Amino acid sequence: MKKILTGPKSVVKKTAGFLLTATLFASLIPAMASAADRGAWAASTSYAVGDTVTYSGKSYQVVQPHTSLNGWEPPNVPALWKEVQGGGTVDNQAPTAPTGLKVSGTTTSTSITVAWNPSTDNVGVTGYDIYRDATLVGSVSGSTLTYTNTGLTPNTAYSYTVKAKDAAGNVSAASSALSVTTLPTSGGSDTQAPTAPGNLTATGSTTSSVSLSWSAATDNVGVAQYEVYSNGALAQTVTGLTATVTGLSADTSYTFTVKAKDAAGNVSPASAAVTARTQPTGGGGGQLPKHIVTGYWQNFVNGAKNLKLSEVPAEYDIIAVSFAEMDRSKPGGVTFGIDPDLSKALGGYSNADLINDIKAKKAQGKKVILSIGGEKGNIDLSSASPNVSNFVSTMSSLITEYGFDGLDVDLEHGFNVPNLTTAVRQIQAKVGSGFILTMAPQTIDMQNNQTSYIQFYNNVKDITTVINTQFYNSGCMLGRDGKCYSQGTVDFLTALTDLAIQWVQPSHLGIGVPATSSAAGGGYVSASVVNNALNCLATGNSCGSYKPVAKYPDIRGAMTWSINWDGMNGYSFAKTVKPFLSQLP
């Protein structure tokens, strides 16, 4: 639904129709309380949870209420539809068990605070139940990953577990148990601090974490816990001899120390410091800034500003040329060349001119890639042979001929995950380590970890540069907290990005928005709102009503459809968002 290839009048008409659909959707949700057999699936139809339809000889049941659109056929959007085989409930899949249960903050004589990593679910986690010695002691929302248990007895050991639950009442298995002892009451006779932990070592790192281990400290009574410090600030508290510090920035050095603490609250001197560096972002991103701006350059005429590639402002780090076309004479093959209407509008802009402009942009440190798909485009990779080999050979030839750095996957009508994975891997092997791979899934494609895009990402995350979700033409979508957020708001951008971060690392995620209200059927926000969303996700500031469960300083950046539409507005998007990204941590 991203690229509107018609003129301004058609854009207005499409926008009005979309808004009408969205209004009907919003007004019907409260009334659609009972499920029904709705017959054959149809576009522009409102469906309630539990409704059943038939499509291509199969039965499907609604997972989320929505108004259907072309391209949202049941097999394409498992976030909305679940195939029914011999009956069954709408959602009978339990969330995964929470992991990483640990002590968070300071344990006192009467309280213990625990924290954990988020669970995942096919629809969405709505809450967590906290158990102490197998007894339920508290519950929190799905966006909260910490709990403080008060009213405890001093100098007493307790065991904690956590379970996740979803809106359908499915409950996960329990997390691994965590044993914690409260501190004794003040005035005890133990005043001797433990010795400093020894042999602190960095055992591994990712783009956003460093793993540590150390030797045990000794104490006249006993060591109760260890405090891990990152650049002098307390990062976490653990009871064992290992820890993984998360939420770090990519390609950045950090200094760590560890202190031991006994049950009386005596704290040891710090261990010897160790310095470790997080990994750089993958997917050819080593020559790119940590935070990047991506824009699409239109190879067609549709009412937006007609541009030569040389006219693209320097604020754009990645330029996605749109689009390669399906070669209907060669299954799986693609073709590309300057659109004749665009060439004429630009006074005879040629393929040779574009090749020279790409070379000049690359000399300036920019990345130029070729996009496949779009609102109306598709690539036929339904068969492994000859489709995959045709796609690899034609795409590789185009990359070589024009000097592209890689490709963008913007397939909006479904795709064969194994075949696309094989094809992209083969192309990457031909291009080499500088290969750039980006994706532009629709909002619906990022609603759970079973979608085609998430499966594809899991196969190619090591060569992925960024996934820019199209946060527009979406209507109302579920955020991480299970609530439905309307497009065109800062909460929509943050809540849905927070949802996707359960499956995609922050350094691979970007916010995609239309450059102007004319560029899409709905979801436009000003560049300042984009900055607020990025700030909220990276630092926890400038948020709306939705608060992300954590801070993500590695958030990759932002994308707009399109550079041409941005040109109609004086490049407000690029000139507002790029300077802001440059000053993020």
What pLDDT does 84 receive?
Answer: 79
Asked if 342 and 300 count as a contact pair (C-beta separation under 8 A), the reply is yes
pLDDT in tens, the chain (585 residues): 344 443 332 233 233 333 333 333 333 333 333 467 888 888 878 888 888 888 887 888 887 777 777 667 887 776 678 887 654 445 678 899 999 898 887 778 888 999 999 888 877 788 899 999 989 998 888 878 899 998 888 888 999 999 999 877 789 999 999 988 888 775 557 788 999 999 998 877 766 778 888 999 998 888 888 999 999 988 888 888 888 888 788 778 899 999 998 888 889 999 999 998 876 665 555 578 899 999 999 999 999 999 999 999 999 999 999 999 999 899 999 999 999 999 999 999 999 999 999 999 999 999 999 999 977 678 889 888 899 999 999 999 999 999 999 999 999 888 999 999 999 999 998 888 789 999 999 999 999 888 999 999 999 988 999 999 999 998 889 999 989 999 999 999 999 999 999 999 999 999 999 999 999 999 999 999 999 999 999 999 999 999 999 999 999 999 999 999 999 999 999 999 999 999 998
The contacts found for 24-28 with CB under 8 angstroms, 24 or more apart, are: 24/67, 25/65, 25/66, 25/67, 25/475, 25/476, 26/476, 26/486, 28/65, 28/67
Asked if 532 and 542 count as a contact pair (C-beta separation under 8 A), the reply is yes
Q: Identify the bridge partners of residue 160 per DSSP, sorted by sequence position.
A: 132, 178
What b/e readout covers 111-133, taking b as 16+ CB neighbours within 10 angstroms?
ebbbbbbbbebbbbbbbbbbbbe
Nearest partner of 106 among 2, 40, 216, 182, judged by Cα: 182
What b/e readout covers 197-218, taking b as 16+ CB neighbours within 10 angstroms?
beebebeebebbbbbbbbeebe
What pLDDT does 3 receive?
Answer: 44
The contacts found for 49-56 with CB under 8 angstroms, 24 or more apart, are: 49/90, 50/90, 52/84, 53/81
Model confidence, pTM: 0.61
Query: What three-state secondary structure class fits 470?
Result: strand
H or E element in which residue 297 lies: strand 292-298
Structure-token pair, residue 111: 């309280």
Asked if 274 and 255 count as a contact pair (C-beta separation under 8 A), the reply is yes
What pLDDT does 585 receive?
Answer: 82
What pLDDT does 188 receive?
Answer: 54
What pLDDT does 86 receive?
Answer: 54
Structure-token pair, residue 582: 């440059």
The Cα–Cα gap between 310 and 360 comes to 8
Task: Kindly list the domain boundaries of the chain, sorted by start residue.
Answer: 37-83, 99-182, 201-277, 292-582
H or E element in which residue 26 lies: helix 8-28
Q: Identify the bridge partners of residue 468 per DSSP, sorted by sequence position.
A: 510
What pLDDT does 121 receive?
Answer: 83
CA 256 centroid distance within chain: 28
The Cα–Cα gap between 76 and 66 comes to 14
What pLDDT does 54 receive?
Answer: 86
H or E element in which residue 460 lies: helix 452-460
Angle subtended by helix axes 417-431 and 389-402, to nearest 10: 40
Structure-token pair, residue 464: 């992925």
The residues carrying an active-site annotation are 412
The Cα–Cα gap between 291 and 274 comes to 27
Q: Are strands 436-439 and 466-470 parallel, antiparallel or unpaired?
A: parallel
The Cα–Cα gap between 172 and 120 comes to 10
